[in-house]
Amino acid sequence: MLEKIPYYVKRILEVLTSEGHEAYLVGGGVRDLLLGIPPKDFDICTNAVPETVVALAENEGWLVIDKLGQNLGVVLVSVDENPIEIATFRKESYYGNSHRPDEVSFCKTLEEDLSRRDFTVNAMALDLHGNLYDYFDGQEDLKNKTLRTVGNPKERYAEDPLRMFRACRFVGQLGFDYQGNKDYSEFDVEKCKILSLDRIKKEVDKLLVTEHARKGLDLLMKSKLVNTICNAKIAGVVKEVALLPELAHLENLPQNARFHCFDAWQHTLVALENSSPDLVIRWSLLLHDIGKGTEGVRKINDYGQPSDHGHEAISAKMAKEILTRLEYSDAFIKRVVWVIAQHMRFAPMLFTKQKTLYRWVRAEANSGNFKSAKELGEGYAQLKDMFLADMGATIAGYDNPKLMAEARELGDEVELIAKEKMPVHTSDLDIRGRDLEELLATKPDVSIRDILEYLLKRVQNGELENKLDVLLSAVKQRLERL
């Protein structure tokens, strides 16, 4: 493992130990090394106090980036432009109604420092010689692919309720099983009221793009964390904000067995895990069926089967309300809502093919939802990914590679039209006003803008290629007719 540790991390460990201090690589970096995963970051803990760490860093010529963290025993240094946190052994005490420790004090031993950490797989340390320090059986939990808290889970979560969301995220990130009470009673959703919306959103966003997001999101559901009420400061006033209670009704919600092999929640999870780890796509899939089962949408057809015809419209409406409440950006909300609203359009086009595809893309190019051909292409690429993921979680596509290949071909075709054949604005044309000045010199009544709008319409209709020579030829013909 030592050969996978960067030189600058080893150098810090060397300097601290050569001065008689203990120093260890700790936390997620150790976990990832043991799993054979390249660590994204490295943290160091030591018994040296912050003032000593700063003095040693300055003596080595390392940039001390942040001294403010010294109050919590943390010094951020940069070695050859590589930032590293160096934390003094510490223990934390929680008394009040806050996720932040009321008291932070230094401790003497590595074991005491590791005992305050969240999960056993994050509570291991490695020294410069490759010796592993594992007081809480983290290595065994890695072997068994189990996520378990250090000590009593209720106590760990009471100290910082965000750890409940971190548990979901680590299950998604590592693909581990969560080991806790079978009734999930250690998850006290009420305690999450002290958390800010911003902190929870960051964890949920990280969870959504993990490799095993299905497992992490299922824990989020089973633990009732979807019903969390957190707080956000809006216009200077702190208000309570609901997280995702709209998801709760999807669990065990039956679907038409003619088309679906999962209930609404498991379908959502399978579809989401089928998709690319793009936040727009993942949020779109998480919310794409929330309209199912709701009043006015859920019907029983003539065969006694549940039906949710038109659910995409109400799902898009609900998604807009949810993401607005959670304070996502207008651009992000607009794209997710568009993807959800459009996601049922593909399937019928497996039969109507290109002519309908072209009309559909042209209508969206003129809808005002996109500012440029680049945005239109990005939107359809995300929509294609969602469509394939969604279809792959139904009876039609779940174990039908032939149909999925046809669907992918359809998706590729519509993406090509959107990216290469459908300008949205005159600025997307392969011609500029300066290219027209000489041609229009003898036509004072014809404006450059009118000509560009004329060309845009013809390219969108598929009558002209978006190439400069083709467009110039079309302008000449237009002027002759005028």
Q: What is the pTM of this model?
A: 0.92
Residue type, 280: V
In this structure, how many other beta carbons lie within 10 angstroms of the beta carbon of residue 139? 16
> Mean pLDDT per 10-residue run, the chain (482 residues)?
89 96 96 93 94 94 76 88 92 58 78 95 96 97 97 93 97 95 92 95 98 97 97 88 97 92 96 97 98 94 90 97 97 98 87 78 95 96 96 90 92 93 96 91 88 96 94 93 80
Q: Which amino acid is at 246?
A: E
| Through-space distance between the first and last CA atoms of the chain, rounded to whole angstroms | 77
H or E element that contains 26: strand 23-26
Instruction: Measure the CA–CA gap between 311 and 291, rounded to whole angstroms.
Output: 5
Task: For residue 93, give Cα distances in angstroms to 101, 151, 164, 343.
Answer: 6, 15, 19, 50
Other C-beta atoms within 10 Å of 238: how many? Answer: 10
Q: 3-state class of 139 per DSSP?
A: helix
Q: Are 328 and 322 in contact (CB under 8 A)?
A: no
The tokens for 81 are 């432009």
Angle at 207 between CA 201 and CA 213, to 5 degrees: 145
Q: Rounded CA gap, 385 and 381, in Å?
A: 6
- Residue 394 is encoded by which pair of tokens? 């139904």
Other CB atoms within a 10 A radius of the CB of residue 266 amount to 19
Q: Are 470 and 464 in contact (CB under 8 A)?
A: yes
At residue 20, φ and ψ (nearest 5 deg) are 90, 10
Report CA dihedral (150, 152, 156, 162) to the nearest 10 degrees. 100
**Amino acid in the structure at residue 460:** Q
Q: What stretches of 360-478 adopt beta strand conformation (E)?
A: none
3-state class of 64 per DSSP? strand
The reported pLDDT for the residue numbered 438 is 87
DSSP per position, 144-181: TTEE-BSS-HHHHHHH-THHHHHHHHHHHHH-PEE-S-
Q: Which long-range contacts (CB under 8 A, 24 or more apart) does 222-227 make?
A: 222/184, 223/164, 223/168, 223/184, 223/187, 223/189, 224/184, 224/187, 224/189, 224/248, 225/164, 225/165, 225/168, 225/187, 225/189, 225/192, 227/189
CA dist 100 and 85 (Å) reads 19
